[in-house]
Structure 1
């Protein structure tokens, strides 16, 4: 094995410790947001390892694409829909944790066996390849646009087709101009004047005066009853509306409810 510098060795051991702690945090975190942040720390350490080996472009891509785009988008969706700790611990497949333990042990034994019987050559690194191509980024660009030109173009075409297909499937042509807020308000009062049961003042958003801020949680009206119109019709059709605890009205709460509220 070749020799490595003291700075690289120090970075490796510090990054390894942070990566292991982040991986353990990912496994044992009770909140899914904390687990996602632990995974971000593992990805950042992996990017530092790439840069320490001379693969600067790969390290930057690791930070920009995976940590900066994918994981931040994942966190944004989690904070948008709202996830409680008890929801993140609910197992959709029973017994998966007990099944994962022997699989992890077996996979670790296989890795140790392969590493013990592997004949590793001397460590070379990427300095020679980078120097030959004029640097890490020029050498990588030369490979992508020369030897792997067709594979690069085909993968680009697949990504473009996927993006265009998603836009076509989700796009809906508007056959009438969008109504303004004034027009919607006038139409609501006209419907109320014809005897239809409509709310003149509008309804609260999902999660208002409720025990959760997710979109599948119905808003509670001032009298403590749920507002079905505050939940999307698709969720109501799938019968996936979250349950709630009715709020007792002032003066109507019995002694037991008052004791629970005081606690």
Structure 2
């Protein structure tokens, strides 16, 4: 091969094909829209769904760039496990939009803005560095296989950064447990005392019926049917609008 052909082949190898460009601009636009929806959604459940969409789009982009293992991990671990667990917890405990306006830690909004701005500057600097210095692609990293190349980078070249990141995550988990822990300043009430308080305050002697009981649907927004045929409004969470559909 002549030097001219070698230069043309090398230049063609680093060019983006039409299919790759269409895939990037389409999924990139959707990823940006979903990312904006994460912070602009009026409800926390919608934010979680937008975040899951963003993670799935990133996984597709990883797979398109020959990072198959990273794309599969992105879907299975983050979208399929962590994100869905977070979504189920939100649906289980219920989060009101007014809860996001209360700062449990003073100054956390300013700290979040500062951290987000610093991360944005770091991302811009990284993209600018790659644009100026050029990129080598994944052919060299995947020479011995995608999984083997990723393992070599994580556990050999960037092992200290990997370990520091794991230590940071463990510290964050312990900090969340400490902040969420509530000290009990009085003794634990017995079952008899709790039952007496329930009857004294006009409560129900038995647990409230679950949503959808004796109804045609078992959805969480369908009121339970009482023995007289009326709907039990107390069986629906306060953050949901009861469904008034056909029984």
Q: TM-score, normalised by structure 2?
A: 0.52
Q: Which has the higher contact order (CA 8 A, sep 6+)?
A: 1
Deviations 1:7-45 (A, max 9, x none): 111111112111111111111111000011111111111
**Which residue is 1:37 aligned to?**
49
Specify the alignment match of 1:57 in structure 2: 69
CA 1:95–1:49: 2 relative to 1, 3 Å: same
Does residue 203 (structure 1) correspond to residue 206 (structure 2)? The answer is: yes
- Asked if the contact 1:30–1:88 (Cα under 8 Å) also holds between the matched residues in 2, the reply is no
Cα distance in 1 for residues equivalent to 2:208 and 2:51: 32
Deviation at 1:6, TM superposition (A): 1.4
Pairing of 1:74-223 with structure 2 (within 5 A): 74-93=86-105, 96-97=108-109, 104=116, 108=120, 111-112=123-124, 116=128, 120-130=132-142, 132-133=143-144, 135-140=145-150, 202-205=205-208
Q: How far, CA to CA, are the matches of 1:68 and 1:198 in structure 2?
A: 43
Distance 1:81 1:98, change over 3 A: same
Mapped partners of 2:149, 2:119: distance in 1: 35
Q: Give the unaligned 5+ runs of structure 2.
A: 1-10, 168-190, 212-219, 221-237, 239-247
- Paired with 1:89 and 1:198, the residues of 2 have a C-alpha distance of 33
User: Distance in 2 between the 1:86 and 1:6 partners?
Assistant: 46
Count of residues in Structure 1 that have an aligned counterpart in Structure 2: 174
The CA RMSD over aligned residues, in Å, is 4.9
CA distance 1:98–1:4, shift in 2 (3 Å): same
CA distance in 2, matches of 1:142, 1:106: 29
- Report how far residue 138 of structure 1 moved: 5.0
Contact 1:50–1:58 (8 Å) recurs in 2: yes
SS in 2 for 1:46: helix
Could you tell me the TM-score, scaled by structure 1's length?
A: 0.50
Provide closer, same or farther for how the CA distance between residues 199 and 82 of structure 1 changes in structure 2, counting only shifts above 3 A. closer
| Structure 1 residue aligned with 2:20 | 8
Q: Secondary structure at the match of 2:133?
A: coil
Moved more, 8-17 or 105-114: 105-114
Which runs of 5 or more structure 1 residues have no equivalent in the other structure? 159-187, 214-242, 244-263
Work out the CA distance in 1 between the residues paired with 2:135 and 2:118: 28
Aligned to 1:19: 31
Query: 1:89: Cα distance to partner?
Result: 3.7
